[in-house]
């Protein structure tokens, strides 16, 4: 009979590096942890379930008559804008939850496990894509129940949804970086909304840019949110938005290239 040798925890040597396969497996495991946390704490999904309904209905009937003469005529123009605002503001949660987990010592416990150190961070960002998908789906369903019929058809809606989700995931790297370097979750939320609110409201998400003062139009035209709204609007309306799509994808790629390494480096220093 063979007996197993038990090595005390203090004498165990954990590998400093793991392979790509284990890193991916660990990241998906952490993403599954995030999904389980959403299931057990459904109140975390209030912003992606109720907010799209409230904003879509409220702003359609508030601005619709004044801007387009009729709420239903305003809906095709407005819905892609409120979709972009809802989804990208949802990405702020990535940073706040990351900061809360670090404050609670969750990542200290992960540090003692033989897993890829980057997997808790990667898993959190991966799990949050479900939040973006929920917000996107509810926004379009709410618009459809109100009478919205996109001329781009299902293909246009699906393409616009994927584009917005990809951009929100790219933005989440910025907020994840803030979550790592900030001292509190409230600081992450405050800084994030201080940046997002001017970008979303000083865009053409709610009103045509030609109705704005000339001194403001130049900012609206270079605003990255405007390009994303134009891209989503063109896809759902069935019009040509190739230029805005490429600009949007390029901007998302630049954000990931810049902030993903910064976030990983800052996280590894703390981990």
pLDDT tens-digit series, residues 5-51: 554 544 544 455 667 777 788 888 888 887 887 777 777 778 788 88
Exposure on the CB side of residue 87, measured as CA atoms within 13 A: 34
Handedness of CA 139, 229, 156, 67 (dihedral sign): positive
Residue 224 has pLDDT above 90, yes or no: yes
Residue 253 lies in a domain: yes
Residue 58 lies in a domain: yes
The model carries a pTM of: 0.86
pLDDT in the model for residue 7: 47
**Mean of all residue pLDDT scores within the chain:** 86
Residue 33 lies in a domain: yes
Kindly state the percentage of the chain with pLDDT values over 90: 45
Kindly state the percentage of the chain with pLDDT values over 70: 92
Domain ranges, residue 138: 20-270
| Burial (CB count within 10 angstroms: exposed 0-12, middle 13-18, buried 19+), residue 225 | buried
| Burial (CB count within 10 angstroms: exposed 0-12, middle 13-18, buried 19+), residue 31 | buried
pLDDT in the model for residue 204: 92
Nearest Cα neighbor of 156 from 227, 234, 104, 228 is 234
Residue 4 lies in a domain: no
Residue 217 lies in a domain: yes
Per-residue pLDDT of 123-178, as tens digits, reads 888 888 888 999 999 999 999 999 999 999 999 999 999 999 999 999 999 999 99
Q: How far is CA 223 from CA 39, 133, 203, 227, 251, in A?
A: 36, 24, 7, 7, 11
Residue 7 lies in a domain: no
Residue 3 lies in a domain: no
The dihedral over CA atoms of 72, 76, 77, 82, expressed in degrees to the nearest 10, equals: 100
Nearest Cα neighbor of 236 from 131, 139, 130 is 139
**From CA 271, how far away is CA 107, in angstroms rounded?**
7
* Structure confidence at residue 109 as a pLDDT band (50, 70, 90): confident
Residue 270 has pLDDT above 70, yes or no: no
- Mean pLDDT of the 67-90 span: 91
Other Cβ atoms within 10 Å of 38 Cβ, number: 18
Residue 255 lies in a domain: yes
Other Cβ atoms within 10 Å of 16 Cβ, number: 6
Total structural domains within the chain: 1
Exposure on the CB side of residue 1, measured as CA atoms within 13 A: 1
């Amino acid at each position: 009979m063979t007996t197993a040798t038990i090595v005390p925890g203090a004498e165990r040597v954990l590998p400093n590096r793991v392979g790509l396969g284990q890193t991916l497996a660990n990241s998906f495991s952490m993403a599954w942890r995030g999904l389980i946390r959403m299931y057990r704490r459904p109140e975390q999904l209030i912003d992606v379930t109720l907010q799209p309904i409230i904003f879509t209905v409220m702003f359609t009937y508030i601005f619709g008559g004044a801007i387009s003469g009729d709420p239903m005529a305003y809906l095709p123009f407005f819905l892609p804008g409120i979709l972009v605002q809802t989804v990208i503001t949802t990405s702020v949660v990535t940073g706040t939850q990351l900061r809360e987990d670090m404050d609670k010592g969750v990542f200290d416990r992960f540090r003692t496990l033989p897993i890829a150190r980057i997997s808790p961070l990667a898993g959190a960002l991966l799990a949050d894509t479900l939040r973006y998908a929920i917000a996107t789906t509810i926004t379009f369903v709410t618009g459809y129940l109100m009478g919205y019929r996109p001329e781009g058809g299902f293909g246009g809606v699906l393409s616009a949804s994927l584009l917005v989700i990809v951009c929100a995931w790219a933005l989440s790297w910025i907020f994840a970086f803030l979550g790592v370097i900030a001292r509190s979750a409230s600081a992450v939320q405050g800084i994030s909304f201080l940046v997002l609110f001017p970008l979303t409201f000083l865009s053409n998400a709610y009103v045509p840019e030609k109705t704005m003062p000339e001194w403001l139009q130049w900012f609206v035209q270079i605003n990255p949110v405007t390009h994303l709204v134009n891209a989503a609007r063109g896809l759902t309306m069935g019009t040509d938005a190739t230029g805005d799509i490429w600009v949007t994808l390029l901007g998302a790629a630049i954000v990931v290239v810049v902030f993903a390494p910064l976030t990983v480096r800052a996280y590894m220093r703390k981990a």
